[in-house]
Structure 1
Amino acid sequence: MKARLSAATACAVAWTTLLAGPAANAQMSNNVTGFGQQNRNKAEQKQYVPAAKAQEKIFPLDSTWTAVSLNGKAFNGTDRPSFIIDKQYRARGYGGCNTFAATAFPLREQNLAVGPLALTKKSCDKGIGASEQDYFIALRTAGQWDLVGSQLVIKSQKGELRFDRAL
């Protein structure tokens, strides 16, 4: 009878080891080798600690932003481009001559999707018109955004737009 119990116990231990995997093997080995060995093994085991995930930033809705520069080139004059995205994800703003409206969605991992722009069609000075077109293209092709200090930075296919919060 003892032999049968031992065989049945050994079979159960083998199945438990197979099903539970390496963690059960280590635990069972520690129990077999003795109390002192068990404490040494625990001290030697390395703990897996996942890397801390970066805190995801929240896009500042209902804030008006005034353009400072595009690719390091400052916007001149008092009529600098600006925009706001409200809580219904409607963007509206000014390009330096014309006004615009669009849908804009802040996405995960600080991405930004801007829909097609609806623009007014005022006739503008050539220099302002070219600067405005570059601004609209950069805003429309926006990919990522970030808050750097007090500035909003939008990176796009056209380059990097920098904004200051308007009062």
Structure 2
Amino acid sequence: MNTQSRLGLLAALALSLSPVLVSDALAQRRQQMPSRSEQPQDAPPPKQEKNFPFDASWTATQLNGKPINSFKATLKVDSNLRGTGFAGCNTFSASAYPLRQQGFAVGPIAVTKAACDKSVADFERSYLMALRTARQWDLVEGRLVIKTGAGEIRFDRGI
């Protein structure tokens, strides 16, 4: 058999099999696709990813649901992922990472060593521990909320 005869035979064989292959492929596709009644109705739009407010100064107003009245605590996260602030008596700095899906992580915190009253030192320890255990952040009505391992810290925009 010459080459032309072989090619003709292969072409005839392919043409005879193609309706079977096409109908098999269509049948498989129909089985995989859900019917209109099975498709989800009005799926919610994907959540819009928020942008962390870098280089903004924040003043803490609540710690774990309790208002902060007699102490001052601040936080600022710059675009180099450096968190700095005042914790009531001492200043601090740490790596601060806003993550995907509004996650938040704070690295080890470096703190100055000024002597403080016991009540201020206790507040400072609670505030810094809450920052260190930060897990999520959100902006709610223009306020920064950082969710921690034991509660949350709420901040108002500072000067």
TM-score (norm 2): 0.80
Cα deviation 1:3-46 (Å, max 9, x = unaligned): xxxx9766312212334554468xxxxxxxxxxxxxxxxxx845
**Distance in 1 of aligned mates of 2:90 and 2:27:** 67
- 1:95-134 correspondence runs (5 A): 95-134=87-126
Name the % identity: 44
Residues 104, 20 of structure 1: alpha-carbon distance in 2 compared, 3 angstrom cutoff: farther
Match of 2:5? none
Amino acid of the residue matched to residue 22 of structure 2?
Answer: T
Q: Secondary structure at the match of 2:24?
A: helix
- 1:1-167 correspondence runs (5 A): 11-20=17-26, 22-23=28-29, 45=36, 51-77=44-70, 79-167=71-159
Contact 1:70/1:135, CA 8 A, preserved across alignment:
yes
Per-residue deviation at 1:113? Answer: 1.1
Residues 11, 90 of structure 1: alpha-carbon distance in 2 compared, 3 angstrom cutoff: same
**Distance in 1 of aligned mates of 2:75 and 2:84:** 6
Structure with higher helix content: 1
Contact 1:17/1:24, CA 8 A, preserved across alignment:
no
Gaps of 5+ in 2: 1-12
Amino acid of the residue matched to residue 131 of structure 2?
Answer: L
Structure 1's consecutive aligned runs of 4 or more residues displaced over 2 angstroms after TM superposition are: 7-11, 17-25, 44-51
Contact 1:67/1:82, CA 8 A, preserved across alignment:
yes
**Distance in 1 of aligned mates of 2:76 and 2:146:** 13
